Structure 1
């Protein structure tokens, strides 16, 4: 069965027993974040019962957290009265993250120049374990709503940016990420076998860019380029995505791979 959404499973940092044993660890903050994280799985407003289930808390604790977060405008009542949705103050923290992230600040004007040159969709995604999270998205007119949202995430195992990131990791680390991923396919062509994915990663390593066809979306062609930190570790990836109805893979690579590689080198810290 294919997935009905391109979103990757949202990341979740589970505190260890040692974390919780620390005197500085505040469990009420953990519970509040669990309530906010319940909306990662939502397709619409959530009832108090649904928040309780997703957050893994008892109903009394959930009710107190929801009341407090509503008072702070991090949660609000749905306009239709069907439940709760995130409040507008969540966006303040998204802005803080993006404006204070040095790579995002540096990359934005560079990617705008790349977008002008290629006239196709250009993205910057950040590495988060088994997934890539979009931090900059420069769209074409044909993109869908979800494809334009910052914070949208996609799996590393079947995306050009993910393969680009994996290609710059030690082979054992790359395979570990692949094997821990939820490898349910998105299209009939999505690679799900770890050995086949590792072959794609190896080809990416040899070429210096990733070429993904029909992996996340049917009819999509995407190139991915790794962005490295000053230790040579991948921290992000640049994507250039287009349509197979307009491009052959050979022409797409010839036209855009040099530009993408040049941009990725400009943003990397060797």
Structure 2
């Protein structure tokens, strides 16, 4: 069996899977091309990001436009995702049992601490925000559900990795990029391991200015029924208003109790 050059590289490992629909994978690669894009994409850019030929990209973009998932940008120079994609996001969150259980508990936690509360889902090298309950300080992009950050440089990520076996931690640290998001972001795997070890001892992780300057964040992992980490609660606040150790003392018990309520629910 041969694989068409129109097929994106990401789909090729499944070429021998008789149930794998390669045409569907090619289509999904067009939607995935918009991950991380900060503006509308042209056909040429979509083709480059997917590994498709320009003609294949054109056919798939046309199909998604007919279905409503893509629309022409306002200036007519490219394409962007349209509302039906947001409908799918809503349905995912609505049907996710963890998000459903956690939502009322997070609302109560937000009322108690009066700081930003996040629920992030563990997805290997990244933590993906599924719920964000904001304080008064956040920028627009920081407020969006679906935003993701590297697992290795967040309090929730450190707390999650503290529940993993050592070979799994090693694989995550060796295979992940460690971007310097702020001047204080830890990029040395040994320093990150120290934070994971502290999280294992404390039952939570405390991160200082890892994602945003001036921010302190505390994370507690949420395990599934088998004890595997699947998500994390973050509480984040301003260092101009909190001493880090006082923040830890005040927030760690509340975050831990919220996790217990989610797990037992």
- Provide the TM-score with structure 1 as the length reference: 0.92
Q: Which runs of 4+ in 1 moved over 2 A?
A: 13-17
SS at match of 1:40: coil
Q: Aligned pairs, how many?
A: 257
Q: Secondary structure, in 3 states, of the residue corresponding to 1:21? A: coil
Q: Distance in 2 between matches of 1:185 and 1:251?
A: 27
Matched, 1:21 2:16: yes
- Tell me, in whole angstroms, the C-alpha distance in 2 between the residues paired with 1:22 and 1:113: 47
The answer (yes or no) to whether the contact 2:180–2:187 under 8 Å persists in 1 is yes
Q: Tell me the distance in 1 between the aligned counterparts of 2:31 and 2:12.
A: 20
Equivalence for 1:4: none
Match of 2:69 in 1: 74
Aligned counterpart, 2:107: 112
Equivalent residue, structure 1, for 2:258:
263
The answer to whether 1:194 aligns with 2:189 is yes
Q: Does 1:177 pair with 2:172?
A: yes
Q: Which residue of 2 aligns with 1:85?
A: 80
Q: Does structure 1 conserve the Cα–Cα contact (< 8 Å) formed by 2:185 and 2:209?
A: yes
Instruction: Give me the whole-angstrom Cα distance separating, in 1, the residues matched to 2:22 and 2:233.
Output: 37
Distance 1:16 1:236 in 2: 30
Inter-CA distance 155–269: structure 2 relative to 1 (3 Å threshold) = farther
CA RMSD of aligned residues (A): 1.4
Cα distance, 1:181 vs structure 2: 1.0
For residue 216 of structure 2, give the secondary structure of its aligned residue in structure 1.
Answer: strand
Task: Give the unaligned 5+ runs of structure 1.
Answer: 1-12
In the alignment, is residue 168 of structure 1 matched against residue 174 of structure 2? no
Q: Which fold has the larger relative contact order, with Cα–Cα distance below 8 Å and residues 6 or more apart in sequence?
A: 1
How far did residue 169 of structure 1 move? Answer: 0.5
- 1:223 counterpart SS class: strand
Partner secondary structure for residue 44 of structure 1: coil
Structure-1 residue corresponding to 2:4: none
Give the corresponding residue for 1:134.
129
Matched residue, 2:201: 206
Please report how far the alpha carbon of residue 15 of structure 1 lies from its aligned counterpart in structure 2 after TM superposition: 4.5
Which consecutive unaligned segments of at least 5 residues does structure 2 have?
1-8
Structure 1 residues 259-268 or 70-79, which shifts more?
Answer: 259-268
Aligned partners of 1:49, 1:269: CA distance in 2, in Å? 50
Does the 8 Å contact 1:228/1:269 carry over to 2?
Answer: no
Paired position in structure 2 for 1:125: 120
Give the Cα separation in 2 of the matches to 1:193 and 1:142. 29
* Residues 188-209 of structure 1: CA deviation (Å, up to 9, x unaligned): 1111111110010000110010
